[in-house]
Amino acid sequence: MANAFFNVPKAINEPVKSYAPGSAERKELQETIATLKNSTVDLPMIIGGKEIRTGKKISMHPPHEIAHVLGSYHQGDANHVSEAIDAAMAARKTWAITPWQDRAAIFLKAAELLAGPYRVKMNAATMLCQSKNAFQAEIDSACEMIDFFRFNVQFMTEIYQEQPISAPGIWNRLEYRPLEGFVFALTPFNFTSIAANLCAAPALMGNVVVWKPSNTQIYSAHVIMELFKEAGLPDGVINIIHVNSSVIADTIFKSPYFSGVHFTGSTSVFNQLWKTIGSNLEIYKGYPRIVGETGGKDFIIAHKSSNPAEVATAIVRGAFEFQGQKCSAASRVYLPSNLADEILDLVKKDVESFKIGSPEDFGNFINAVIDEKSFDKIANYIEYTKSQNDAEFVCGGTYDKSKGYFISPTVVKTTNPLFKTMCEEIFGPFLTVFVYEADKYVETLELLDKSSEYALTGAIFSKDRASINIATQVLENAAGNFYINDKPTGAVVGQQPFGGARASGTNDKAGAAQNLMRWVNSRTIKETFVPPTDYRYPFLG
């Protein structure tokens, strides 16, 4: 009998395992990678719990070893999107009225399964599918995903506890209803945890979901589906489809039941989605929730008082981990003239010590970029830079796609603060540095603020408090996640709610109560215990 106000377990961040030589987790991970590589998968779409195989198979390869086949997935079409919407709407009838403690238990169970028996498979799949080294996979597909599930359950109960006051004789209540239709989750390749969370956050709040993962993340996406099933998520609550982006505008966004999109990806795609949704408003039952976390041109600025070794380490980790394919990765740096040479020497030394290759060799710090399209885009930026006379290479500038999509970590120094690669998102291991006159600090902050359309993450390094305060003020709108003496990557759920503004998204802060609020439609209920029986107010007397 559910007749009490239950407390949920207090959320804590999942500890990160080390995978150091000799550790049990390292051995188990290496064995699992070998097992996955020795078998091939045949991945169906999953609609209403049913496996749908169309026979139109697309093969999947690790980005670092394109000759190897991981298996294939079945490609669907517009009919499958309609079936997924129908399956979601059918599941909604029971899921929307499932008691919150049952929804909480399913996602808490998913967290524990992932902390335990599913951890190794999720990490191995992410390493092979997205070319992440063991540490990058662990902090993403294990720890961050676990944290999303645990913290969101806690935030959900905090939201439900938020209730209005009641005057004598009446009782006011707020209900947090799920949205009236389905939520569309459209997810990026770069974080397995983000893909899971974009589906799980609305589902936790009682919504049903149609999920289209990135084509380059489908392999690990299916481990997420397995995890949800094992945790007890009913069929049809989350439906995974593999379709070309081109069918989405005429299916998802033409459905009267479309009630929200949970997107993470590039700014241009998000802008296009928003326009399509806007032009279809009369079709929908209500105004859809549009939540999107998009691109970035994340910065580090060092003040003349900063410590060169601290700045260099933040640059090296912040720009190059996971090949710079984090939305938060540092990609433009402003160094003061008194320290620039020393910092760049340290950066060059570190970058040239990186080992590059397959994540299956645990000594490799840098792995491949995600696919050929991305490889070619980054290579074009390298060639463009070579053709310009206001930029020079500090290190890197080479690339090779004969075995996998490998780009050498590249640092470019420019004399032009508005050089193309100082302003545009490249999304790869490519960093541009501008050296400013050390006494033109405030002017440089103002320049930084205006150089890019994005405002996701940024960092200031300084030992001088006044300069930190100035940066915090001048750069107020330049980043949704602002770091003082720390690299701009590595936000932790529950500690640094994540998201940016301007062209970086709607800033609904993934892994925070703010995000969950977008997936509910609250209803106010006022109940009067003894209603009046005479319309006349005393003043009429």
Nearer to ligand NAD, 120 or 510 (CB): 510
The 10 Å CB-count burial string (b at 16+, else e) for 337-357 is: ebbbeebbebbbebbeebebb
Per CB under 6 A, 277 contacts ligand NAD: no
407 phi and psi angles, rounded to 5 deg: -125, 130
Tokens of 5: 């106000």
Per CB under 6 A, 63 contacts ligand NAD: no
Per CB under 6 A, 323 contacts ligand NAD: no
Task: Assess whether 310 carries a catalytic annotation.
Answer: no
Site mask, ligand NAD, residues 486-505, x = CB under 6 A? ------------x-x---xx
Q: What is the dihedral of CA 265, 271, 273, 276, to 10 degrees?
A: -170
Amino acid at 167: A
Instruction: Tell me how many residues contact ligand NAD (CB under 6 A).
Output: 30
Q: Which of 269, 346, 492, 517 binds ligand NAD (CB under 6 A)?
A: 269
Per CB under 6 A, 308 contacts ligand NAD: no
Q: Which residue's beta carbon is nearest to the bound ligand NAD?
A: 265
Per CB under 6 A, 457 contacts ligand NAD: no
Alpha-carbon span 343 to 306, nearest angstrom: 10
Contact 45, 214 (CB under 8 A): no
Alpha-carbon span 398 to 408, nearest angstrom: 6
Tokens of 452: 């890019």
Site for ligand NAD in 206-245 (CB under 6 A): 212-215, 245
Per CB under 6 A, 73 contacts ligand NAD: no
Identify the helix (H) or strand (E) that includes residue 501.
strand 501-502
Q: Where are the alpha helices (DSSP H) in 407-502?
A: 420-423, 441-450, 465-474
Alpha-carbon span 65 to 264, nearest angstrom: 27
Nearer to ligand NAD, 69 or 269 (CB): 269
Task: Assess whether 437 carries a catalytic annotation.
Answer: no
Per CB under 6 A, 425 contacts ligand NAD: yes
Per CB under 6 A, 265 contacts ligand NAD: yes
Per CB under 6 A, 264 contacts ligand NAD: yes
Alpha carbon 151 to its chain centroid, in Å, reads: 16
Q: How far is CA 110 from CA 116, 182, 315, in A?
A: 10, 22, 35
| Residue range at the interface with ligand NAD (CB under 6 A); choices 8-16, 130-138, 180-188, 531-539 | 180-188
Q: Which of 272, 280, 313, 485 binds ligand NAD (CB under 6 A)?
A: 272
Min. distance of Cβ 84 from ligand NAD in angstroms?
15
Min. distance of Cβ 101 from ligand NAD in angstroms?
30
- Catalytic residue numbers? 293, 327
- Residues near ligand NAD (CB under 6 A) are 186-191, 194, 212-215, 245, 248, 264-266, 269, 272, 293-296, 327, 425, 427, 456, 498, 500, 504-505
